[in-house]
Amino acid sequence: MQWLKRLLCLLFGGIFGYSGIMKLGDPGLFLVDIRGFDMLPDPFAAWLALLLPWVEIICGLAVISGLFRSGGLLVLNLSLVMFFGAIAYAQFRGLDIKCGCFGASQGVSNYLELYIRDGLLLLVGAALLLTVNKKSERLVPNPKT
């Protein structure tokens, strides 16, 4: 089962790392997507467009490498919960949003696809968080174990 956990960590962290890199490609377009949710005023929307890609990259690398894995998993899972809330709020308000999850979107996002994708990611992320091994995150091995 250890190989499955490693594979899931690689996929989960890799998806967020890729997502962050794609958003860094054009933060201006990502800002437009954030503004489409009509939830954050400027300058907060701009700060989110600049900071979120780096958070995703750093946390994705933490999940992949095992160094501070539990912290990376916690942040990414909380992000997914917030994404779910933002998507649900936008749908409730009847907004046609562009997700921007993997960089600039061409068309309007399908709410069902967003729920399914984020739900599956949250399921994997929560399972990984519940099974994280604190010992593997230590910088210096504990001689007692």
Quote the pLDDT of residue 90: 92
Tens digits of per-residue pLDDT, 62-73? Answer: 999 999 999 999
Residue 139 has pLDDT above 70, yes or no: no
Q: pTM (2 decimals)?
A: 0.85
Tens digits of per-residue pLDDT, 13-60? Answer: 999 999 999 999 888 899 998 998 899 998 999 999 999 999 999 999
Q: How far is CA 72 from CA 1, 27, 35, 75, in A?
A: 21, 22, 26, 5
Distance of CA 143 to the CA centre of its chain: 35
Domain ranges of the chain: 2-131
